[in-house]
Amino acid sequence: MSDQRIDIEEIGEVTVARFLDKKILDEANIDKIGSELFGLVEQDGRKNIILDFSLVEYLSSAALGKLITMHKKVAHAGGTCALCNIQKDILDVFKITQLHKVLTLCTDLDDALGKF
C-alpha cells in the first residue's frame, strides 16, 4: 500500500503515526489521512497515539478539522493523543486558532512519550 499517507510505529503501548507528506493541503489527501488516523482508533482500537509532524511544512485549515476530530475520537475511546515535532509556522497556526489549548502539543517524540 504505497498510497499510505502516514507511517505507523509501535513504541510499547503507544502508536506513533508519522505524516509522510510535506504539504497537507488538498482535500483528497486530507480525507485519506483522516481515514487512516480514524482507523487507528475505530478499527484497530488504539488509544495512545502520537502524531509526528517532523516532515510536515504546510497544513491547511481543513487538516486542522481532522486533527480535532481525531482528538475527540481518541478522548472518547478513553485514550490520549499527543502531537510532536511541529514546525514553527504550523505551531503559530495552532496558537492563532487556539488549538494549542485543545490539543496536546509536545516539542519532540521523547516529550510526547512522557505524556503516557
The domain that holds 58 is classified in CATH as 3.30.750.24
Cell numbers found for residue 44: 484497530
The 8-class DSSP code of residue 5 comes to S
> Residue 1's pLDDT is what?
42
For residue 69, is it within any domain?
yes
pTM confidence score: 0.95
For residue 29, is it within any domain?
yes
Angle at CA 47, nearest 5°, toward 55 and 37?
40
Residue-number span of the structural domain to which 61 is assigned: 6-113
Phi-psi region of 85 (alpha: psi -120 to 50; beta: other; left: phi over 0): left
For residue 1, is it within any domain?
no
pLDDT tens digits along 68-83: 999 999 999 999 999 9
Does residue 109 carry a pLDDT above 80? yes
Cell numbers found for residue 76: 472518547
